[in-house]
Chains A and B, each alone.
Chain A
Amino acid sequence: MARVVVDVMPKPEILDPQGQAVARALPRLGFDGVSDVRQGKHFELEVDDSVDDETLAKIAEGFLSNPVVEDFVVRRVAS
């Protein structure tokens, strides 16, 4: 078994109103110096060793992200 992390983020050119709302809230809460926030999704998958990188890429590209508006990164991490 291995742990695989997939991070999905809106593409840089895509407007992210949720991230903007978080960024605008920070100064109100007394946190200064944060100029931008982008909000995405973080998935943790427990996978058998038989699952290869190509399969993981298919999962990330074909389901966990929407390639029209999102980028993804797949990482295997120590479990």
Chain B
Amino acid sequence: MRIGAVTFPGTLDDSDTLRAIKASGADAVALWHGDADLKQVDAVVLPGGFSYGDYLRAGAIARFAPVMGEIVDAARKGMPVLGICNGFQVLCEAGLLPGALLRNAGLHFVCRDQWLKVENNTSAWTTRYDTGAEIIVPIKNMDGRYTADKSTVDELEGEGRVVFRYTGGNPNGSLGDIAGVSDATGRIVGLMPHPEHAIDALTGPSDDGLGMFLSVLDSVVAA
């Protein structure tokens, strides 16, 4: 099992993402934004950070990186993709996930441990959780307010594609307390909080985030 983590210029959390992948038992494969080569990975994680300095809009320029063309093609064929924070923003800009992430309603950079509710445990990245489970992982962003038009939000809610919801307080004004969503197949998931920073008690508030990296192992084996 090979899981890739992409480094763009300005990516910050690639090292922690690779570490989380290793902790799940998979081979962690570093992918480079400038190489149109997925190195035979079975799944890809787009880590957080500030790709291209968040110039223009968060994720707007990373979307056009050579590696993204390969990821979009593979994702459309069913390869699981997880976008964390800036990675979520990139997936929305690339059109792989609906909606957009805008400046936090309070205009503050939010950095804290955040409780989330797992709303759907059938996505490729959440099978190791119970539906309704509450997990705590760090959140740290400036542009985390999930926004989409009403018909899109209704569709997401109706189809169970709101995968994670903020609980214990909405940190950024996201519509419907939405913290993470999936595509129609459940194989592409994006969320603003950082599961890769919560894989053991030594370095995070919990090991609650590890379940996402373990979940995708099941999904790839089953596929």
Q: Of B73-81, B102-110, B190-198, which stretch is located at the interface?
A: B102-110
Chain B residues within 8 Å of chain A by Cβ, number: 19
Chain B residues near A14: list those with CB within 8 A.
102, 147
Chain A residues near B104: list those with CB within 8 A.
17
A14 and B99 CA atoms in complex are apart in Å by 12
Chain A residues near B60: list those with CB within 8 A.
63, 66
Q: Within the complex, what minimum Cβ distance (angstroms) separates A65 from chain B?
A: 9
Chain A residues within 8 Å of chain B by Cβ, number: 11
Q: A26 at the A/B interface (Cβ < 8 Å)? A: no
List chain B positions with a Cβ less than 8 A from chain A: 56-57, 60, 92-93, 98-100, 102-107, 145, 147-149, 173
Chain B residues near A10: list those with CB within 8 A.
102
A66 and B148 CA atoms in complex are apart in Å by 11
Q: A74 at the A/B interface (Cβ < 8 Å)? A: no
The answer on a CB contact under 8 Å between B147 and A18 is: no
The answer on a CB contact under 8 Å between B105 and A68 is: no
The answer on a CB contact under 8 Å between B105 and A15 is: yes
Q: A69 at the A/B interface (Cβ < 8 Å)? A: yes
User: Which residue on chain A has the smallest CB distance to residue B107?
Assistant: A17
